[in-house]
Amino acid sequence: MKTLFILVSFLLLANCSAHSVKIGKRCTTANADGTFEKSFIWIIDKETVKNFDKKINKANCIKNS
């Protein structure tokens, strides 16, 4: 069952033609009320991939903790 889940997940993530997949713990900057987003899998539009690391990165996770 685990193997089937991994294979299906790989196929879904690998077949994104207009998007890029980034894996790893990354966070957004905290808002005025202190909320932020944290994830280990990010699906990014290929047009905005250049600016992604500036806005959403591992350093923000340390700041928000």
Model confidence, pTM = 0.62
What's the confidence (pLDDT) of residue 1?
85
CA 40, distance to chain mean position in Å, is 6
pLDDT, tens digit only, all 65 positions of the chain: 888 998 888 777 666 667 777 888 999 999 989 899 999 988 888 888 888 888 998 999 888 87
Distances (CA, A) of 24 to 21, 32, 42, 65: 10, 25, 8, 17
